[in-house]
A and B are shown apart, each in its own frame.
Chain A
Amino acid sequence: MKIRKRKHDQEVNTGSMADIAFLLLIFFLVATTLLQEKGLDLQLPRKKEDNSTSPPIKERNLFKVMVNSRQEILIEGEYRKDLVGLRDEIKAFVLNNGKQEHLSESPKKATISLKTSRGTKYASFIQVLDELKAAYFEIYAENIGLTKKEYLKLKQSDPQQNQLYLKSKEGIPMNISIAEPTI
């Protein structure tokens, strides 16, 4: 009787336990999202009190992009259906160096203003901001003879790459200003 019982214990298949455990492991590996920190960065302006002391920006140095609550886009006072060409316009605006009357005086003074309304969808805002970033990154990448993709892969922790990175940005600050939304 005892012997038979022991035999029964041995029949439990523990070999498949490993499979089950691995299945679980793989499931959780796939299902858990780790901290993902990629995104669009932005520097917010200073507090309001400090803001009032800064001198007003000349009209020609300001490139205005507005998105209203119906997700309609107004670029430099002109209604647009989509963002086609915005990237090139910004590049021309920033790198104008005072050549054309209505564009910026210098890359340092050039400011892109992105204004939204309170009802603007976050996705529309990101879409426009992405284009603004793309324009600047393309300028930076061209400065050091890289493509935008290669530029975005530069590692600041590496001294040589950091030097390139700093060189690309020289004299061209990314002046993207987020105006407070209108109602």
Chain B
Amino acid sequence: MAHFRKKASRKTQISTSSLPDIVFLLLFFFMVSATIKPNAELLAYKVPNAENLVKPEMKFLIKELVIGFPKSQKLGVTSRISDGKRYLEIKDIAQWATAAKAELPENYKDQMIVLLKADADVDMGLIADIQEQLREVDARKVLYRTSESTTDPIQ
């Protein structure tokens, strides 16, 4: 009985004043992360490894394309392209690039970087078709997203 009383008195001492802080922290976190990744990814992809990576200085120039395999089996097993929001066909790429370019400030329009996030198992044929379309609308800077390999595969 004495033991029980002791426990109860200790519980009343816990301060809950920090709880709102924590909730706000969570809230802010979700708000921030929501702007970074606005949509669920439609495609599954695993980028290949490379060693000699560069990092563009101006992040706002980057526009993303994902090339991977559909997560849902209903959509088949062939590789598809998406811009993060919806699926794109090869013929849509030029239009997408033009639209993406229009979002940039006038003096940076020719410097748009297309970030290709492609699965390691995707065929080069598809990548080449995309590049062909990008060349048509003069969006010629591409960045192949790769993860960093820590060990040099050759030497």
- Enumerate chain A interface residues (CB-CB to B < 8 A): 7, 10-11, 13-15, 17-18, 21-22, 24-25, 28-29, 32-48, 82-84, 86-87, 116-123, 125-127, 129-131, 133-134, 137, 148, 152, 155-157, 178, 180-181
Contact = CB atoms under 8 A, between A and B. Distances in A.
Interface residues of B, number: 59
Nearest to A135: B52
A97 B127 CA distance: 34
27 contacts: A11-B8, A17-B19, A17-B22, A21-B19, A21-B22, A21-B25, A28-B29, A32-B33, A38-B54, A39-B146, A40-B144, A40-B146, A43-B140, A86-B154, A116-B124, A118-B123, A121-B122, A122-B118, A122-B124, A123-B120, A126-B120, A126-B146, A127-B50, A127-B153, A130-B50, A180-B132, A181-B128
B55 interface: yes
Interface in B1-36: 8, 11-12, 14, 16, 18-19, 22-23, 25-26, 29-30, 33, 36
Contacts, number: 175
Contacts of B138: 46-47
Interface in B92-144: 113, 115, 118-125, 127-128, 131-132, 134-136, 138, 140-144
B9 to A, nearest CB: 10
A11 to B, nearest CB: 6
B117 to A, nearest CB: 9
B113 A84 contact: no
Contact of B55 (A13, A29, A37, A133): A37
Contacts of B120: 121-123, 126
B143 A40 contact: yes
Given A45-B135, A123-B120, A131-B154, A24 B57 contact: no
B124 A120 contact: yes
4 cross-chain pairs, A with B, having the tightest CB-CB distances, nearest first: A118-B125, A123-B120, A44-B140, A130-B50
How would you classify the secondary structure of chain A's contact residues: helix, strand, loop or mixed?
mixed
Nearest to B12: A10
B53 interface: yes
Contacts of A178: 131
A18 B22 contact: yes
Given A18-B22, A84-B154, A119 B141 contact: no
Contact of A42 (B22, B55, B144): B144
A157 B141 CA distance: 19
B36 A34 contact: yes
A127 to B, nearest CB: 7
Contacts of B36: 32, 34-35
Nearest to A82: B154
Contacts of A83: 154
A41 B56 contact: yes
